[in-house]
Amino acid sequence: MEYVWMALAATLSGILGAMGMGGGGVLIIYLTLIAGLDQRAAQGINLIVFIPCALLALFFYLKKKLIDGRAALFAAAAGLAGALAGTWLSGMIETGVLRRIFGAMLLFIGLREVFAKPQKKSKS
């Protein structure tokens, strides 16, 4: 039964991730709170799950010509630098503190989305 719940969490994570909504939050929450994994182990599993999901989503985004190549390369380079820094920092931070930071980030983003004013649609 545990694999059924993990499959559901991973599927939801993939759906949200492909829609640009940070599906990793769902999977990390499941892995830490329900499966009982360490925060760092959950982050590692999330990254492994993210690779095939990102490749599949990327295929369709490219097919629909929805990617600005120049912006994507710049963001990828900056993201690699951030990943290096984040990996280094997460190894130095105690797991309990890391969980609190993750929870605070989710809370902040969630509250921001709930109380954000709707944006006007552009006429492009």
Collapse the DSSP code of 22 into the 3-class scheme (helix H, G, I; strand E, B; otherwise coil) and give the result.
coil
pTM above 0.85, yes or no: no
pLDDT for residue 60: 92
pLDDT for residue 1: 61
pLDDT for residue 65: 94
> Residue ranges per domain, the chain?
2-115
Alpha-helical (H) ranges within 1-124 are: 2-18, 24-29, 39-63, 69-92, 95-115
Whose structure tokens read 């492994």? 48
Higher pLDDT, 108 or 119: 108
Higher pLDDT, 77 or 57: 77
pLDDT for residue 12: 85
User: Sorting pLDDT into bands at 50, 70 and 90, what band is 40?
Assistant: confident
pLDDT for residue 21: 74
The mean pLDDT of 114-120, rounded to a whole number, is 84
The mean pLDDT of 73-78, rounded to a whole number, is 94
Nearest in space to 50 (alpha carbons), one of 71, 72, 31, 36: 31
Query: Is pLDDT of 124 > 60?
Result: no
